[in-house]
């Protein structure tokens, strides 16, 4: 009997890069394949430049476009804040927001825990339209041409057009917590039915499924012909999309805690947080452990890789900067509460939020 899934705290691909451009971070994990890698140029030493307070938890990651940071809070507001100053540009009250927002063609999109999905004008925060699902939305949207993909806890991925009209839907046998990556003309749906479904982007029809042997509570990443995802049953899996099978499995030893973090993937490593309180780096080709970094509490935050550094938060109320090759701590910042969201980066800056509702901006202090 499969465990019941509970709610969580959290090649050319359609001419969009799998890696974010350094001057923007427009969608969750930086690009449509959700690799969690940025080409941003960052200072060697980071400091806290500013803090922005909301009235409740920030559990989803931020997006950054044209010098403005956009993020949601459980206080029911979607915020736009100036990157350099931390000053509020606008705030729009919607509903309690866990999901990261996403930006596409001059609009910002976000779902809330009431099951509503909104399209807003990017410059003003004005609501343009609303689409309702039957349960919570805690995942970010993704985009295929002019279509919008939305996973929901009602066990469905919805494909909408730019006017908010449904084009197709794909139903599974369990809630979907994570965002769906896009590659090879397909989107890949992993959730609480313990399967990864490859779905045709144009028709919404299933092409194939792979048994993951466990439920998933976060998002997958796709690089080349392989999908990487963590499970609640303590495995990180590499799924061969060409042969439609699992190519390797990694299981964290000792404590069977599960992976609720989304992986970050570079040429040789898969980096992911675990509820065993560690950050793991796994050899991408073999699935063997390369290094692990111990924190004091579970790591649900999803790592961000920039150059030779890993940026990640922990529920121990610290935000860590690690050496990518060795896993050694380079810097850490004690913050006001647990960090479970995914950080975002552009040139000069790293942004993340906390459970007490504070948005932090890291960068280099001016003399």
Mean pLDDT of 64-75: 98
Separation of alpha carbons 331 and 51, rounded Å: 18
Place of tokens 């063609």: 105
Q: What is the DSSP letter of 20?
A: B
Q: Which three-class secondary structure state does DSSP give residue 94?
A: coil
pLDDT-based confidence at 253, cuts 50/70/90?
A: confident
The proportion of the chain whose per-residue pLDDT surpasses 70, expressed as a percent, equals: 94
Which residues, in sequence order, are CB contacts of 366 under 8 Å at separation 6+? none
What was the pLDDT predicted at 121? 98
What was the pLDDT predicted at 7? 40
Mean pLDDT of 260-288: 97
DSSP string, 122-155: TTT--EEEEEE-SS---S--EEETTEEEEE-TTS
Mean pLDDT of 81-87: 98
Q: What is the DSSP letter of 299?
A: -
Separation of alpha carbons 79 and 173, rounded Å: 34
Q: φ, ψ for residue 30 (rounded to 5)?
A: 95, -20
Q: What is the DSSP letter of 36?
A: -
Mean pLDDT of 259-282: 97
- Are the beta carbons of 214 and 195 closer than 8 angstroms? no
State pLDDT tens for residues 280-297: 999 999 999 999 999 999
Q: How are strands ordered across the β-sheet holding 47-53? A: 47-53, 358-363, 349-353, 344-346
- Are the beta carbons of 318 and 337 closer than 8 angstroms? no
pLDDT-based confidence at 4, cuts 50/70/90?
A: very low
Q: Which three-class secondary structure state does DSSP give residue 29?
A: helix
- For residue 313, CA distances in Å to 343, 349, 353 come to 8, 16, 9
pLDDT-based confidence at 327, cuts 50/70/90?
A: very high
The proportion of the chain whose per-residue pLDDT surpasses 90, expressed as a percent, equals: 91
Is 92's pLDDT higher than 90?
yes
Which of 37, 46, 44, 41 lies closest to 19 in space, CA to CA?
37
- Are the beta carbons of 317 and 309 closer than 8 angstroms? no
Mean pLDDT of 230-258: 93
Separation of alpha carbons 205 and 58, rounded Å: 35
pLDDT-based confidence at 11, cuts 50/70/90?
A: very low
Is 18's pLDDT higher than 90?
no
- The angle at the Cα of 280, spanning 313 to 268, to the nearest 5 degrees, equals 115
Separation of alpha carbons 325 and 321, rounded Å: 12
Of 20-29, 192-201, 346-355, which range is least confident?
A: 20-29
pLDDT-based confidence at 238, cuts 50/70/90?
A: very high
What was the pLDDT predicted at 90? 98
- Are the beta carbons of 10 and 60 closer than 8 angstroms? yes
Separation of alpha carbons 117 and 107, rounded Å: 13
Mean pLDDT of 286-314: 98
Is 6's pLDDT higher than 60?
no
Is 22's pLDDT higher than 70?
no
pLDDT-based confidence at 305, cuts 50/70/90?
A: very high
Is 270's pLDDT higher than 50?
yes
Task: Provide the β-strand partners of residue 282.
Answer: 270, 289
Is 301's pLDDT higher than 60?
yes
- For residue 296, CA distances in Å to 230, 289, 293, 315, 347 come to 21, 20, 10, 8, 30
Separation of alpha carbons 367 and 324, rounded Å: 29
What was the pLDDT predicted at 254? 73
State pLDDT tens for residues 149-181: 999 999 999 999 999 999 999 999 999 999 999
Structure tokens at 363: 């960068």
What was the pLDDT predicted at 5? 46
- The angle at the Cα of 27, spanning 25 to 30, to the nearest 5 degrees, equals 55
Mean pLDDT, rounded, of the chain: 93
Does the domain made of 28-363 have the CATH classification 2.130.10.10? yes
Separation of alpha carbons 189 and 360, rounded Å: 31
Task: Provide the β-strand partners of residue 109.
Answer: 102, 119
What was the pLDDT predicted at 256? 76
What was the pLDDT predicted at 126? 98
How many beta carbons lie within 10 A of that of residue 308, not counting itself? 12
pLDDT-based confidence at 72, cuts 50/70/90?
A: very high
Structure tokens at 165: 């009209």
């Amino acid at each position: 009997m499969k465990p019941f899934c509970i709610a969580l705290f959290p090649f050319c691909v359609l001419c969009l890069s799998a890696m974010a451009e350094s001057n923007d971070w427009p969608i969750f994990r930086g690009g449509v394949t959700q690799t969690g890698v940025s080409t941003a140029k960052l200072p060697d030493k980071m400091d806290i430049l500013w803090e922005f307070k909301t009235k409740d938890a920030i559990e989803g990651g931020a997006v950054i476009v044209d010098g403005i940071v956009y993020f949601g809070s459980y206080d029911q507001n979607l915020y736009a804040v100036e990157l350099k100053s931390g000053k509020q540009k606008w705030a729009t009250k919607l509903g309690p927001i866990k999901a990261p927002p996403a930006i596409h063609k001059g609009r910002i999109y976000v779902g809330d825990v009431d099951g509503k999905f909104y399209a807003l004008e990017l410059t003003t925060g004005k609501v343009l339209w609303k689409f309702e699902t039957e349960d919570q939305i805690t995942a970010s949207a993704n985009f295929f041409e002019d279509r919008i993909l939305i996973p929901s806890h009602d066990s469905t991925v919805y494909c909408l057009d730019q006017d908010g009209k449904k084009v197709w839907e794909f139903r599974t046998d369990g809630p979907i917590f994570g965002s769906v990556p896009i590659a090879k003309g397909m989107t890949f749906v992993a959730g609480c039915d313990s399967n990864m479904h490859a779905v045709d982007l144009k028709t919404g029809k299933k092409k194939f499924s792979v048994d993951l042997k466990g439920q998933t509570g976060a998002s997958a990443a796709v690089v080349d012909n392989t999908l990487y995802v963590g499970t609640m049953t303590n495995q990180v899996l590499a799924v061969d999309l060409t042969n439609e099978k699992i190519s390797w499995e990694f299981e964290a030893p000792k404590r069977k805690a599960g992976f609720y973090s989304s992986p970050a993937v570079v040429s040789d490593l898969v980096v992911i947080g675990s509820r065993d309180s560690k950050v793991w780096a796994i050899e991408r080709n073999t699935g063997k452990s390369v290094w692990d970094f111990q924190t004091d509490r579970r790591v649900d935050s999803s790592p961000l890789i920039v150059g030779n550094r890993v940026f990640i938060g922990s529920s121990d109320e610290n935000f860590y900067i690690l050496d990518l090759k060795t896993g050694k701590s380079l810097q850490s910042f004690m913050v006001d509460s647990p960090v479970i969201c995914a950080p975002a980066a552009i040139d000069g800056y790293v942004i993340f939020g906390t459970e007490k509702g504070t948005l932090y901006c890291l960068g280099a202090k001016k003399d």
